[in-house]
Amino acid sequence: MAKLISPDIDSLLEQTSRSFYLTLKVLPTKIRGQIGLLYLLARLADTIADSASGNTNQLIDNIKEYNEHAQGNRDEPPNLGELAQLQTNSDEAKLLEKVSEVVDSLERYSAADQKRIRQCLDTIVSGQTLDLQRFGNVEKGTITPLSNDKELDDYTYRVAGCVGEFWTHMSLAHCINADEETEKLMFEQGVRFGKALQLINILRDIPADLALGRCYIPIDSMARFDLSPSDLQDSQNMDKFRPLFDIYLDLAWSHLDAAVEYIGLLPRRQFRLRAACMLPVLIGQRTLTLLGSQNVLDGGNRVKVLRPEIKQLKNKTLWAMFSRRKSMKLLQANRDA
């Protein structure tokens, strides 16, 4: 893959992005750098927010200072040296240490692309800040849930749906000519694409989030099923939780089906863009299928699509990507599997 920022930063991108790097590698070169840079900027903010400093207000200040620097409203980068020392992941520590180099890389792109990247980052940071405000000062041993589905939808938009929006802006600016109606559909379904991937993460990571005092399953929904956040800490309650869980599973499937429709709107010749969109959808479909049959409250048995299957899905994507018909057939077959 062509150099994105620098060999050192590109290496961090590969090491910190996991499965997303597979997507990045097949993206059209016209937008690969911008999308990769947004990922790094967002990952940097996420690393700040997830730092185990024990001081929520300080983390909020750190992420605010970082965003102001990234937005071009603050000349001096934040001093993240202390946070870097707290990281258990050495790659994330290096990312915090390279904050100036990552932000300065915005200058490689046009003013219009810089604006798109910054707008999306600002939305993502607003979601991460909201998370810190909601959950950061939770007393040990207590769990704070979201209030309602509106809060859940807002959260999934802020941290992921806006990325689908950004992806669409970049595609339309550099790769695709579409009529007004198609553009409108792409933005709507692009947002749902991002929401799908975030909702899948939420449904998969319930035990891990509960251990941190976070519950993304809204309290008013749980109340309708005579459930409380503490009930979700006991894997024996899965049968009682299943009817409510299935509602959110269906919502995730609905969003992911919109992502498939999004892929169907891409021009035939945009095979790289199609492949880049297909792989996360295929992995998401397999994850939802697994979630539908397993006990998601069992923290010792986290649902995950294994690397051999991801490699198999990647190979199937590479085989189908040149044909829109084959691509849509693969997506449907994977959904039905």
Mean pLDDT over each residue of the chain, to the nearest integer: 94
Average of per-residue pLDDT across 313-337? 97
| pLDDT of 203 over the 80 cut | yes
What pLDDT digit, counting tens, does each position of 73-115 carry? 999 999 999 899 999 888 899 999 999 999 999 999 999 999 9
If one looks up domain 139-337 in CATH, what number appears? Answer: 1.10.600.10
Average of per-residue pLDDT across 53-62? 88
pTM of the model: 0.95
Query: Higher pLDDT residue, 50 or 150?
Result: 150
Q: What is the pLDDT of residue 3?
A: 64
Q: What is the pLDDT of residue 163?
A: 98
| pLDDT of 137 over the 60 cut | yes
Average of per-residue pLDDT across 259-273? 97
pLDDT band at 23 (very low <50, low <70, confident <90, very high): confident
What pLDDT digit, counting tens, does each position of 166-179 carry? 999 999 999 999 99
3-state secondary structure of 215: strand
Listed in sequence order, the DSSP H helices in the chain are 7-17, 20-26, 29-49, 56-70, 81-86, 90-97, 99-104, 111-135, 149-156, 162-174, 180-204, 206-211, 219-224, 238-265, 271-291, 307-320, 324-336
Alpha-carbon dihedral 250, 252, 255, 260, rounded to 10 degrees: -90
Structure tokens that stand for 26 in this block: 């097949």
Q: What is the pLDDT of residue 4?
A: 65
Domain ranges of the chain: 30-137, 139-337
pLDDT band at 53 (very low <50, low <70, confident <90, very high): confident
Rounded distance between C-alpha atoms, residue 209 and residue 242, angstroms: 18
The position carrying tokens 């600016």 is: 173
User: 193: burial class by Cβ within 10 Å (0-12, 13-18, 19+)?
Assistant: buried
